[in-house]
Structure 1
Amino acid sequence: MILPILISAALSLFVTAHAADSPERTITTYGLGGTKTCGAFIRSLNTPEYFHYFAFTAGFFTAKNMVPGSGGNVLEGADLNDAMLVVEKYCRENPMMGFINGLNQLVIRGSKGH
């Protein structure tokens, strides 16, 4: 049951991956992580709802890895738990931003060698 959800999230987020390059475009996102704020994510820590953010993040990075030119691993050796810690830090500093913005910031920072 989880695998179809992750695959669906990955495929729907493939479009979102290109949206970060065009802030003037409106892109439809699906799933908890595409519609909730960073503040909502922070409130989910240590609750069962956190798993939904984790699963969304797994699908998000799977989709990013599928983009031609990504190198196949946008996290560059970090694991998903490491990514969640970085996104948590971003979200604590930007609680009104969308959770997906935190994910995109992680990819942008990684691509700049930070």
Structure 2
Amino acid sequence: MYEDACPVSPVVDLVFSRWTTPILWALREHGRQRFTELHRRLPAITAKVLTQRLRQLERDGLITREHHAEIPPRVEYEISELGRSLSPVFAALVRWSDEHLARVEDARSAYDASV
């Protein structure tokens, strides 16, 4: 199993799959949001994919979904405590990006120029 070779692989699969990180980031930064609010913040994601990712994140316990039985029905999403516990991971990635991403771009440019 690849988990034995790299114990962070299950976490990477869980948290860093396409759209998961932007959804968690938006909910952490902007708090509780309705589907349409979240979709406006992430316009490149389709409604279908956003629905799928929200369901998966709810299933994984990283967000909560609250349904309000009113007319029209209202559903709100919020990052859970478990999802919020990823904040230090995101903060570390932001620091790493600030400190090293320019070097990655330089390495890419140097590589592309040599091939």
Larger Rg: 2
Greater relative CO, 1 or 2 (CA 8 Å, sep 6+): 1
Q: Which of the pair is proportionally richer in strand?
A: 2
Normalising by structure 2, report the TM-score: 0.26
